[in-house]
Structure 1
Amino acid sequence: MAPAAVPPNRPPVTVSGAALKPSTSLRAGGRTVGRYVRRAELPGRLSPRPYLHPLTTLAGVPVTGFMPADHPHHLGVSVAVPDVAGRNFWGGPTFVRGRGHVELDDHGVQQPLAGPAGGPEGFTEELSWHADGGELLRERRTVAVRALDEDSWVLDLAFALTNPGPRTLSLGSPATNGRPGAGYGGFFWRAPSGSGQAAVFTADAEGEEAVHGRTADWLALAGGPWTLVFAGATEETRRDPWFVRVADYPGVGSALAWTRRLPVPPGVTVARRIVTAVVDGRLGRAEAGALARRLTAGTGA
C-alpha cells in the first residue's frame, strides 16, 4: 500500500515550455564537455529530474552512465533523495521496512521553474520538488565548468534545498528507514560500466569497503582511461559520508542522511557543494590529492 498523502506546502509554480530551454551544452576551455538536461520525457518511476549526461573528458572519453540496465533510475549526474517526507525523489523501488524494495506510486518530480541565468560555462536556476500536487522543497542550483589544465576540467555543482511550507519535513534513505549501511541521497554521479572494476581511494584509504560510509575531504574514482576527483567545497559538505559502489557498478555520492534522518524546519535551507575534476588518464593517490587541493583552493573551503 502506498504511504499516506503528503499535505502540500504550496502548489508548484508552472512555466511554459517556451520559457525553458530543454538542455544546455557545457563548455570548458573552448571544448564541449557535456550537456545539462532540464526537461526530459522520463517515466514517473524514475523520479524525473534534471541531470548531466553525457559528460566526457577533454579527450572525449565518456564519464557518465545513463539509465543502465542494473539501475535505470541512475541518470548521469543528478541531485536525488530517496525519501523526502515519504516521497521518492531518487527513482526506482522504495525501501519499506519489513518488505524490502517494493514498487510504489510515490515518486516525486523536480520541476525547473524558469530559464537559467547563465550560459555554457555556468548557470543558476530554481527548481520545485513536488509530489501529490504540492511542493515539498524549493531548490536553487548552480552549475559551473572550467578548464583546469590540458587534460582536465572541473564541474562545480552547488544546491540549496529550502522548506517553503509551514511544517518540518525530513530527508532520509534506506539506512535511516531501518536498513543499516545503505545511506545515500544528495549529489550522485553514476559512472559508465564496461571498463573493468574501478579503483576508489581517499588520502588514507582504498577500496569500496574502506571508503564507503566514511568522511573524507576528497575521494577519487579511477576507471580505465579516466579519473574523477570529488571534493567537498564547504564544511557541511565534508561532514557528509561518501556513498561508494565499485563492485556492483561504479558510482559515487555524498550522502545527506546516513544514519539519521535530516530534519528541515520551515524556512530552513540545506546547502551542499561538490567540486569534481574530470581527468584524462588514471591518477594515483599523490596526484589526486594535489588535484583536490587545487579544486578547493578558490572556494573558501
Structure 2
Amino acid sequence: MEHSGTARALDAGQPVRLQVEGRDVADYVWRSDLPASTAPRPFLHPVRTLAGTTVTDARPHSHTHQLGISIAAPDIGGRNFWGGRTFVAGHGPAWLDDHGAQRHRRWLRHTESELAHTLHWVDGQGAALLSERRAIACGPLSSEAWTLSVQTRLTNATDRPLPIRSPASLGRVGAGYGGFFWRGPAVNGQVRVQSPAGTGVRAVHGTTAPWLSVSGTSSGAMWTMLFVPADPTTAQDRWFVRARDYLGVGSSLTWDRPLVLEPGQQIERHILAVVADGNLTEDAAAALADAARPPA
C-alpha cells in the first residue's frame, strides 16, 4: 500500500523519507538542483541508525560532489558521472566540461520502506548513455540494526559499445572507484575497518570479501556501517575503502580494466548496507552479515 506521506513528497518533488517499523531512517533525494559539476543524481542522505545517529555526509567542503549513498561512475563513454575533476591519463585530475547527470523517469513502487524507479544517465546534451532500474528497500535486522538494500540494473542505451572506466584503468593506482558508494560522516578519533580479508584500510582496499565493516564515533555516538554483496556477481567486485581525507566505501563496477557494455547489454548489482548503533566487534559484524544476506 502506498504511504500517503510518500505520495505527497513525490508529487511535490521533495525527498522521500523511508522508515523501519515507524522510525525514520533515510531520506531519498530523487530530484534536486545540484550544479552540473556534481554529476547530479539521486542519493540517500541523511541515513540514520535506529537511535538517530547520522551515518552519511553530503556535499562536504572537501568533496562537494560526494552525496551520501549513491550510484556513480567517473567515466562512462568519456562522460563523468561521478562529479568533481576528471582524471586524465598522463596529466592527472582536471576540471572538464564533461559531466553527466542521472534523471528520474518513472516510479515503479513507493511505500514507507521501499522505492523503485527508472532513470536515464544522460550526457551534457541530454542523450541517454545508460538506462537504469533501481530498487531501494529498508527492513529491520535486530533491535540495534536495520538493512538498506540497493539494487541496480544498468543497460547500455546507445547503439555502440560503451566503456565504463575507473581512474585506475587510466593509470591512477588504487583509484578503482565507481558504482555503489557511501560517503561517511565526520568522525571523532579513529575509525575501525574490518573484513575477512584483514583489518585496516590497507588490508581491505582493492580486495574482494563477503563483508566489510566500518565503525566510528560521530557527535558522541558510536555506529557501524556493514556492507554485504547480496549476489555472486556483486561479490566479485573489489572494495574501494578510504579513511584518509574523507571516509568512504564503494563496491567497484570495474577496477583497473574497462568494463565494456555492448548495445542493449545489461549488468546488475545488489549491495546490502547494515546500519547499526555501537561499534561492532568482528564476530558481531560477521553474524549480522550472515543474518542480512539472502538465503542461497
User: Normalising TM by the smaller chain, what interval?
Assistant: over 0.9
3-state SS in 2 of match to 1:175 = helix
Q: State how far apart, in whole Å, the 1-side matches of 2:173 and 2:142 are.
A: 41
Q: State how far apart, in whole Å, the 2-side matches of 1:164 and 1:42 are.
A: 24
> Structure 1 stretches of 5 or more lacking a match?
1-16
1:245 alignment partner, one of 242, 246, 250: 242
1:42–1:48 CA contact under 8 A, matched in 2: yes
3-state SS in 2 of match to 1:166 = coil
Q: State how far apart, in whole Å, the 1-side matches of 2:13 and 2:118 are.
A: 13
Identity of aligned residues (%): 45
The 3 A distance-change label for structure 1 pair 60 and 203 is same
C-alpha displacement of 1:106: 0.3
1:197–1:247 CA contact under 8 A, matched in 2: no
1:19–1:114 CA contact under 8 A, matched in 2: no
Query: What residue identity is the alignment partner of 1:22?
Result: Q
Give the structure-1-normalised TM-score: 0.91
2:213 alignment partner in structure 1: 220
> Structure 2 stretches of 5 or more lacking a match?
1-8
1:100 alignment partner, one of 89, 92, 111: 92
* 1:196 maps onto 2:189 in alignment: yes
Bigger mean CA offset, 191-200 vs 66-75: 191-200
C-alpha displacement of 1:21: 3.5
1:135 alignment partner, one of 128, 133, 155: 128
Q: State how far apart, in whole Å, the 2-side matches of 1:170 and 1:235 are.
A: 22
1:166 alignment partner, one of 159, 171, 176: 159
1:6 alignment partner in structure 2: none
Q: How does 1:111-190 map to 2 (within 5 A)?
A: 111-131=103-123, 132-190=125-183
C-alpha displacement of 1:245: 0.6
Q: Deviations over 1:100-146 (max 9, x none)?
A: 10000000000000234121200110000000221000000000001
Q: State how far apart, in whole Å, the 1-side matches of 2:82 and 2:146 are.
A: 27
* 1:275 maps onto 2:295 in alignment: no
* 1:80 maps onto 2:80 in alignment: no
C-alpha displacement of 1:250: 1.1
Give the structure-2-normalised TM-score: 0.93
Q: State how far apart, in whole Å, the 2-side matches of 1:116 and 1:35 are.
A: 18
1:209 alignment partner in structure 2: 202
1:65 alignment partner in structure 2: 57
Q: State how far apart, in whole Å, the 2-side matches of 1:182 and 1:72 are.
A: 18
Aligned length: 283
